[in-house]
Structure 1
Amino acid sequence: MGLLFSSPAAAASDDGVSHVLAIHSKDAWSDQWQSHKDSSKLMVIDFSASWCGPCRFIEPVFKSMAAKYTDVVFLKIDVDELSEVAQQWRVQAMPTFVLVKGGDEVGRVVGADQNELNKKIEQLRA
């Protein structure tokens, strides 16, 4: 339970750097998508919003997972900033975590369910 109340700084890695890449433009999204769509590496996309309470609640947990699973790519997309990308992925609630491998969606977690998200990452990262 300690992770739930950690500060964002505590959730970062030992070097103090977050392993979550925030995407703020369609160009940045396109670059990330192009570089990972043919990869066998798991990518976890956090679709959230700054006004969303559950999104803020799970953010330190998501950052902690990114520091733990360094073999997985973690992205964060604000649905208000990049609504077209959110629509493309059929995001209807926040937070929504879309897990992608080889250009295909391989899993999805809707809501701030850290246990379910962790379970899916463990299953799909290999």
Structure 2
Amino acid sequence: MRGNNKALLVRALIFGSHRSSMNSFSRRLHENLISNPSKTSHPSKSLSNFTTKFHFSTPYLQLFQRTLSSSSGASNIVLVKSDEELNSGLKNVQEKSSPAVFYFTATWCGPCKFISPVIEELSKKYPHATIYKVDIDTEGLQNALASLNIAAVPTLDFYKNGKKETTIVGADVAKLKNTMESLYRED
């Protein structure tokens, strides 16, 4: 395999490139392998075998496979799996004035994977604030996401007393911790 292709593949895997970018990269790599078979290190192996084995066996990716489930005690993280669940959660938070964070994420998002353990830690520190985890790639959520103006991940919407207080876009850990402290600290 050519050096540039190897570097692009590693970069895409480590930084959590979006699926369409990965597909585009795989297509370019495959075309390159077909047009220049003598430049590959393993011309007898197919591209699909290489990318599948590389993608799923890379130990670095396994480091990022953490989930937001709590290993000790009850978790206040709710996984939102449908448009109805998202709307119900929003309605519940607004009507009952309960403290909540809506965490919009994606499995392919590197910054989301980076802050995931921080959010889990904060969910334990502030158990009275419910965290709704919403994967933006879940089928059927596009209309709700559009109405909420979710254009990037990670996006965190913070609710208190039935109103959205603030939004954080990106993986700013210090800002996330400070916001949780200022909004949800129990005196």
TM more than 0.5: yes
- Kindly state the Cα deviation for residue 83 of structure 1 after the two structures are TM-superposed: 2.2
Measured after TM superposition, the shift of residue 37 of structure 1 is 0.9
Matched residue, 1:108: 167
Give the TM-score, by structure 1 length: 0.81
TM-score by length of 2: 0.57
SS in 1 for 2:96: coil
Structure 1 runs, 4 residues or longer, greater than 6 Å off: none
Verify: 1:12 aligned to 2:76, yes or no: no
The whole-number CA distance in structure 2 between the counterparts of 1:6 and 1:52 is 10
Which structure has more relative contact order (CA 8 Å, sep 6+)? It is 1
Which residue is equivalent to 1:56?
A: 113
| Aligned counterpart, 1:119 | 178
Identify, as 1 or 2, the structure richer in strand.
1
Residues 52-109 of structure 1: CA deviation (Å, up to 9, x unaligned): 1111111111111111101111111111212222222211211010112244220111
- Where does structure 2 lack aligned partners over 5 or more consecutive residues? 1-62
**CA contact under 8 A between 2:157 and 2:167: conserved in structure 1?**
yes
Assess if the C-alpha contact under 8 Å between 1:39 and 1:101 holds in 2: no
- Counting matched residue pairs gives 121
Could you say what the CA RMSD is over the residues aligned between the two structures, in angstroms? Answer: 2.4
Q: Which structure carries more helix by proportion? A: 2
- Residues in 1 aligned to 2:119 and 2:172: alpha-carbon distance in whole angstroms: 11
